[in-house]
Amino acid sequence: MRAFYNLSTSAKLGIGFGTCVLLTVAVGVFSLVQLAKVNQPAREVVEHHLANAIAFGEIDSNMQQVRAREFRHMLAIGNTQEMQKAEEAARKNIQAVEEAFKQYEASLKGTEGRQTFEELKSAWAQYVALHDQLIQLNTQGKRSEAERFMAEKMRPVLRERIDPLIQKIDEEIAQKKQACRRGHRGSLSEGAALDRYLCGLCRTGRLAVRLANLAVPNGGGPPDSRRSREPAYPRPRQPTTSDAGDGTGQLDGRGHYSDSTHQPVHP
């Protein structure tokens, strides 16, 4: 420590501020690395998991609406206007399913969940072909044949192929959601560790600044506690009976005592 005191003030300032610069660079590099680690899970959630869940929700919702339009179309047999409205609405829902399929496929990462998705597309294509046949039967006014066709042909495709695949994809999305939550907790713990690390570096930086601001008393040596307690200017001494003069002197404005002959008597 004495060697540090013997350094010049410029050297001390250089050491202190140089240490601060090095700490700042270290904090910047460490922060960028940690932010990259935190940003990667967030980007994966937005680009894959979130888009995946939104597209799947559109698929499931529009598939259910297609089924509802089919029943409405069957009940409206004999009412041409209502049948056309139901048929147009069902056609729009089928187009929405196709668009959601494209969005879902774009959100898939690698081969994860792709096999289930391809099976769902195949089952839905089979169901759409049956849907077109049902619309023709309804348009021809064959209600009994349409009901039997729906029960024997369409319902098995729904219950045996489409519904199990929908449930399977739903479970996969739930598992991804749990994984995202675990990753989020890990990111929060890394952020807390980063905060503690930055606080430690700040304390180190303040210590370096204090070392740089140390004065250089006594020709570069360590400060003398005894001398540092002495006042900067000596206090004026009070006159005593041993001072020269006849005792009728007085203090002038500078704190010097003079006798009746106006001769100053210095302490």
For residue 66, what pLDDT is reported?
93
For residue 239, what pLDDT is reported?
53
Helix (H) or strand (E) holding 131: helix 114-139
265 phi/psi in degrees, rounded to 5: -115, 110
For residue 265, what pLDDT is reported?
46
Query: What is the rounded CA–CA span in Å between residue 68 and residue 57?
Result: 17
Strand runs (DSSP E) across the chain, as ranges? 250-251, 257-258, 264-265
For residue 65, what pLDDT is reported?
94
DSSP letter for each residue of 100-125:
HHHHHHHH--TTTTHHHHHHHHHHHH
Q: What is the pLDDT along the chain (267 residues), one digit of tens a residue?
A: 577 667 777 877 787 788 878 878 887 787 777 777 666 666 666 566 777 888 888 999 999 999 999 999 998 888 889 999 999 999 999 999 999 999 888 888 777 778 888 999 999 999 999 999 999 999 998 889 999 999 999 999 989 999 999 998 888 888 877 766 665 555 555 556 656 666 665 666 565 556 555 544 444 444 444 444 455 445 555 555 554 445 555 555 555 555 555 454 444
For residue 125, what pLDDT is reported?
94
Rounded to two decimals, the pTM is 0.56
For residue 46, what pLDDT is reported?
59
Domain boundaries, the chain: 2-212, 236-267
For the domain bounded by 2-212, which CATH number is listed? 1.20.120.30
Find, among 46, 43, 56, 85, the residue nearest to 68 by Cα. 85
